[in-house]
């Protein structure tokens, strides 16, 4: 059998357009992959809170297991794809083009570097420049982060003992100029998240903070 008719869209398609199912006589699902994906997306749209609640519950109950799985997958992916010379060169060129087209990205990376470095070093010239720009001191930054280090991740409630990322509650992508970018580095906009949550959050704006941005322009 090389083709099969989908019971939903009623279109005859190649057999590789159907997911395998061991409980079916022919070993394949009755609906095609496209219809199955559409069905899954619609279910998520209609039951978003329910799905997220179930995911959060599973992540809490299997925190160590999922952490190990993500770590193992990351190592395999990095070794298999990210270290290829052509992939590295493509990513380098893409990054250079982004900086060329948007100078704020370079400023954002520089400020983020100053921020991370300031947690490890004391009194360097670059640190002094950073704190002068953002308007607070290293001791104030430490006072902000010390309680967070001893608390679980605010998103998944996992411990931060094994590592954390510095997250901007309102993402730096909100900034339309250098002045707004610097405002996004103020203490009240910084928090600590576990690496997984920070990467999944990306540059999304939390629902409760959407009022702080209008048409993509930061108003804080």
pLDDT at position 212, please? 45
Give per-residue pLDDT as tens, 82-128: 778 888 888 889 888 888 888 888 888 888 888 888 777 655 555 57
Query: Phi and psi dihedrals of 139, rounded to 5?
Result: -65, -35
- Per mean pLDDT, which of 33-37, 55-59, 173-177, 205-209 is the most reliable? 33-37
Q: Are 148 and 161 in contact (CB under 8 A)?
A: no
Mean pLDDT of all residues belonging to the chain = 84
Give per-residue pLDDT as tens, 21-60: 988 888 999 999 999 999 999 999 999 999 999 988 988 8
The 3-state DSSP class for residue 171 equals: coil
Percentage of the chain with pLDDT > 70?
90
pLDDT at position 15, please? 92
| H-state helical runs in the chain | 33-46, 48-61, 63-77, 85-101, 103-118, 125-134, 138-149, 178-183, 195-201
Is the pLDDT assigned to residue 207 strictly greater than 80? no
Q: How many CB atoms lie within 10 A of CB 52?
A: 11
Q: What is the pTM of this model?
A: 0.57
pLDDT at position 126, please? 56
What's the rounded mean pLDDT across residues 53-79?
84
Is the pLDDT assigned to residue 18 strictly greater than 90? yes
The 3-state DSSP class for residue 4 equals: strand
Q: How many CB atoms lie within 10 A of CB 177?
A: 11
Q: Are 187 and 135 in contact (CB under 8 A)?
A: no
pLDDT at position 214, please? 43
DSSP 50-106: HHHHHHHHHHHHTHHHHHHHHHHHHHHHIIIIITSHHHHHHHHHHHHHHHHH-HHHH
Of 78-87, 150-159, 163-172, minimum mean pLDDT range:
78-87
């Amino acid at each position: 059998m090389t083709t099969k008719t989908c019971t939903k869209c009623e279109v005859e398609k190649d057999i590789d357009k159907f997911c395998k199912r061991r409980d079916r006589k022919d070993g394949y699902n009755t609906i095609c992959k496209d219809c199955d994906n559409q069905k899954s997306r619609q279910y998520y749209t209609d039951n978003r809170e329910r799905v997220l609640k179930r995911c959060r519950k599973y992540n809490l109950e299997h925190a160590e297991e999922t952490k190990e799985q993500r770590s193992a997958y990351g190592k395999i992916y990095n070794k298999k794809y990210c270290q290829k010379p052509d992939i590295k060169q493509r990513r380098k060129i893409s990054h250079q083009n982004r900086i060329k087209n948007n100078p704020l990205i370079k400023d954002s990376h520089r400020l983020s570097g100053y921020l991370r470095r300031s947690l490890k070093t004391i009194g360097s010239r670059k640190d002094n420049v950073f704190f002068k720009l953002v308007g607070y001191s290293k001791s104030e930054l430490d006072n902000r982060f010390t309680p967070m280090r001893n608390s679980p991740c605010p998103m998944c409630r996992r411990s931060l003992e094994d590592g954390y990322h510095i997250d901007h509650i309102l993402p730096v992508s909100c900034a339309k100029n250098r002045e707004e970018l610097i405002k996004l580095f103020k203490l009240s906009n910084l928090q600590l998240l576990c690496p997984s949550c920070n990467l999944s959050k990306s540059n999304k704006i939390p629902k409760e903070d959407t009022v702080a941005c209008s048409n993509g322009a930061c108003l804080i």
